């Protein structure tokens, strides 16, 4: 792997992290609820992109840069779990459970949507 790929991976990872912050904050501010909708939107949109990528035949470097560096730094399993744990600590068990179920069910749906969309291209 060339040094240029490493540079692009670092840039893509940084871009993904900034995009995650912007999308999360924008959605959370508009939703203004205890439900962590910003993280959900980030994870679902990232999952849809990964589903799209899995349905396309892409060069290995593109998959690495977009799938791992950009989308890997954009989506966030750890924040999803931390927010779920925080909701449970606050005794918002229904909201915590809804966050888990929504993340899994809608995540699988977003992946399939991305794969379906790839089939149309």
- Angle between the 3-31 and 37-55 helix axes, to the nearest 10 degrees? 140
**Binding-site residue positions for Na(+):** 72, 75
- Residues making up the chain, counted from first to last: 121
Tokens standing for 96?
A: 């915590």
**Binding-site residue positions:** 72, 75
Tokens standing for 117?
A: 């969309």
| Positive/negative CA dihedral, 31, 37, 38, 42 | negative
Tokens standing for 43?
A: 């994870």
């Amino acid at each position: 792997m060339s040094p240029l790929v490493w540079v692009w991976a670092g840039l893509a990872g940084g871009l993904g992290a900034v995009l995650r912050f912007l999308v999360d904050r924008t959605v959370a501010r508009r939703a203004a609820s205890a439900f962590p909708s910003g993280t959900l939107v980030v994870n679902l949109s990232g999952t849809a992109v990964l589903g799209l990528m899995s349905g396309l035949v892409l060069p290995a470097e593109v998959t690495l840069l977009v799938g791992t560096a950009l989308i890997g730094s954009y989506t966030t399993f750890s924040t999803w779990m931390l927010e779920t744990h925080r909701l449970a600590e606050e005794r918002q068990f229904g909201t915590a459970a809804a966050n888990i179920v929504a993340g899994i069910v809608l995540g699988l749906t977003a992946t399939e949507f991305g794969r379906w969309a790839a089939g149309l291209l």
